[in-house]
A and B are shown apart, each in its own frame.
Chain A
């Protein structure tokens, strides 16, 4: 192969790689844009590197406002978050925790946070992916369900108590009837004795 041909082949190779990279970039951007889940890329120092559209919708922050900031300002429970941060780096696995998200408008939303650690071939931490899902509806539903269970249990308890009272009353009446029957029997016997004497 001539020098000219080698040059031509490598130029073509570079062009193809560049095209592939452009396609890959577009794929990543389209995918993160489509993703209905709030997603962000975090550095090993817990600094926000990027966020997607769903994150902006949920938290109310533009990407430029959060990029370069520590994730701590986003959540209410600081101590719980610090433990979470340590766990991500230490375990290097997927972990989740329920936290409270503070939106730009200062609204507090209960969320489920899932972090997946990223490592390079040498095993060094390369930060992590973080997803945040709004669990306010499911939490409300769960709380409502729990409230209903407590209410029903209370109602049931009251019914049981009522039944027990009725039961006690019924049993009492029956016992009284037996007692009365016995008394009648005794009186009958006494009457028979009295008749015999006459």
Chain B
């Protein structure tokens, strides 16, 4: 992601054409995380930019009240705000990861999904189900869980939204893992990416 990154109309069109839906919760957490990291002023900047791009539906205003977290919305309504965040605040990979971490932390879904935080094995076994609760498209699976070597490998198939979104997911997965791993030093990196010619996205989570 370069510093000169700017969303193009072509990208917007492409994202809008992606089939699938997202739960209202994903949009709420995106906007909520902007509020946490950049305050009301920051959110106003995102609103302004999304309005320019014609991507600010009415329910985005007063989103906590107007967006129904269990309702399904077009997928672009989650992806485009996240991409706009990177453009407006000129955020690089690390900052987008932090954005992903905060997305996970403020999510109401994640709080009610506490039943999956019982063990690392259970968490890994249920990633597919958890993904489906958030998105109607894509398939997330755990390819490897190695508690001894302290690593988890997650694979995301049939979901290619935008390269910036990959970094957000990286942070999100890292934060989700922190609830079942007894370590303060957890990292996640995307080791394969569908935007770089790989067949799927692959995320490697490691901890000390």
Bound Cα distance A70, B181 (Å): 11
- Known: A21-B70, A64-B36. Is A47-B111 also a contact (CB below 8 A)? no
Q: Is the CB of A18 within 8 A of B70?
A: yes
Q: Is the CB of B68 within 8 A of A22?
A: yes
The binding surface of chain A is classed by DSSP as mixed
Please give the distance in Å from B165's CB to the nearest CB on chain A: 21
Q: Is the CB of B180 within 8 A of A41?
A: no
Range class of the A interface residue count: 20 to 34
Please give the distance in Å from B124's CB to the nearest CB on chain A: 15
Q: Is the CB of A124 within 8 A of B118?
A: yes
Please report the total number of B residues contacting A with Cβ < 8 Å.
23
Instruction: Please give, as numbers and ranges, the residues of chain B lying within 8 Å of A103 by CB-CB distance.
Output: none
30 contacts between A and B (CB under 8 A): A18-B71, A22-B68, A25-B108, A29-B108, A41-B114, A43-B114, A43-B179, A45-B117, A45-B179, A45-B180, A45-B181, A47-B117, A49-B111, A49-B179, A50-B111, A62-B36, A63-B106, A64-B36, A64-B105, A68-B101, A68-B105, A68-B175, A68-B178, A68-B179, A120-B115, A124-B118, A125-B118, A126-B115, A127-B114, A127-B117
**Which residues from chain B sit less than 8 Å from chain A, CB to CB?**
36, 68-71, 101-102, 105-106, 108, 110-111, 114-115, 117-119, 175, 178-182
Question: Other than the known A29-B108, A49-B111, A126-B115, what 9 A-B pairs have Cβ atoms closer than 8 Å?
Answer: A21-B70, A45-B117, A45-B181, A45-B182, A47-B178, A47-B179, A49-B110, A49-B117, A68-B105
